[in-house]
Structure 1
Amino acid sequence: MLMICGSLRKGSTNEAALRTALAVAPPSLDGTMYTGMGDLPHFNPDDDREPLHPAVAGLRAAIGAADALLLCTPEYAGALPGSFKNLLDWTIGGGEVYGKPVAWMNVASPAAPAGGEDAHASLRKVLGYAGAEIVETACARVPVTRPDVGEDGLVRAEALRDQIAGALGALAAHLAASRPRAEGQ
């Protein structure tokens, strides 16, 4: 599973949720955090051809190698942050997201007026264009506030950790159910 944080902010609650996901993931989910979003060039369709910018080639290779994606993004000005939308734009031309199981966590604080719903509606739309398989049972709203994050960068509250683990359990169950069974089983 490749985890992508939609925030470039150091120590964001979105990053904390994904780091916590690594810590509480079931053994069947091997997770890797993608950290190259800030290195991606601005999307330009003229540049979406070989030779690709190395950061774009790396992103596409990481997505292609993953059995699933777990995304966690904030909402900015009522939509996806520009840097995260840029990342998503680079995924369209390569086709690596097509048919890929994708889930997301929404960690908007309880005080957020729309709870990040506009960003996730935008995300759903873009993933639809990319042909991703959205795993609804693994998409979760886990409101994380800055005080919920410890000095180690992980979510401390057990109830929130349990919600994150539950979403990952649903993703793991989906992946297990969709894997072809070996002959004779």
Structure 2
Amino acid sequence: MIEILAVSGSLRAASTNSALVAALAANAPADCRVTVYAGLGRLPIFNPDDEGERTPCEAATLIDAVTRADGLVVSCPEYAHGVPGGMKNALDWLVSRDAAVGKPAMLVHASPRSLYARGALAEIMRTMSFALYEEGALEIALLGKKPPEMEAILAEAENRLAMRNAVQGFADFIRTR
């Protein structure tokens, strides 16, 4: 069983990115388990003085979850042409840890407009030594949709298949590492 941790970089209650990672979890192939990390908003601001024995509980939970996972999926919005602070903060907690080194990661997108954040997030994650899976990019346009509309779009057969295929391709990438 391939264990994948999915993170939404949005804290918004009706987040398209959170809807996408939840749908990925619900549509994962039988040989994969996708678990959604829900602690982004509870992470304290990263401070290198708080590493080691002083690592806050919520940060330790994130670090352990990434360490245990076979791979990481991130769906992230773009704010002012950049990666939202909460997502960057989560990655900062992983910078000096081995959790990111060589860890397979895949970026998925809920908006066709988030091009600057995509590039910035990919650069950050490559710098941290994540092994980015870029062949099976998944984008399902949910921008501006209300929750019932998002649910309907994510339930469409072609989108469910696209999600399943993206996760399967990512799982195959994980297995070859």
- TM-score after normalising by structure 1: 0.86
Q: Could you tell me whether the CA contact under 8 Å between 1:144 and 1:160 is conserved in 2?
A: no
Equivalent of 1:127 in 107, 114, 125: 125
> Residue 143 of structure 1: CA displacement?
1.4
> Residue 48 of structure 1: CA displacement?
2.3
1:140 maps to what in 2? Answer: 138
Q: 2:155, 2:29 → 1: CA distance? A: 18
Q: 1:100, 1:139 → 2: CA distance? A: 17
Structure holding more strand per residue: 2
Q: 1:26, 1:122 → 2: CA distance? A: 29
CA 1:138/1:50 → structure 2, altered by over 3 Å: closer, same or farther? farther
2:85 maps to what in 1? Answer: 82
1:61 maps to what in 2? Answer: 64
For structure 1, which runs of at least 5 residues remain unmatched after alignment?
Answer: 110-114, 179-185
2:11 maps to what in 1? Answer: 8
Kindly report the root-mean-square deviation, in angstroms, between the aligned alpha carbons of the 2 structures: 1.7
Matched residue SS, 2:36: strand
Tell which deviates more after alignment, 139-148 or 168-177.
Answer: 139-148
Q: 2:72, 2:136 → 1: CA distance? A: 11
- TM-score after normalising by structure 2: 0.89
- For each residue in 1:137-184, what CA deviation from the matched residue of structure 2 results, as whole angstroms up to 9, or x when unmatched? 233222124253238xx8223332222222112112212333xxxxxx
Matched, 1:49 2:48: no
Matched, 1:18 2:17: no
Q: 1:171, 1:36 → 2: CA distance? A: 23
> Residue 128 of structure 1: CA displacement?
1.4
State the one-letter code of the partner of 2:19.
Answer: A
Which has more radius of gyration? Answer: 1
Q: 1:37, 1:139 → 2: CA distance? A: 23
Q: How many residues are matched?
A: 171
Q: 1:173, 1:65 → 2: CA distance? A: 18
- For each residue in 1:67-102, what CA deviation from the matched residue of structure 2 results, as whole angstroms up to 9, or x when unmatched? 000110101110111111111111101120110000
Q: 1:79, 1:59 → 2: CA distance? A: 22
For structure 2, which runs of at least 5 residues remain unmatched after alignment?
Answer: none
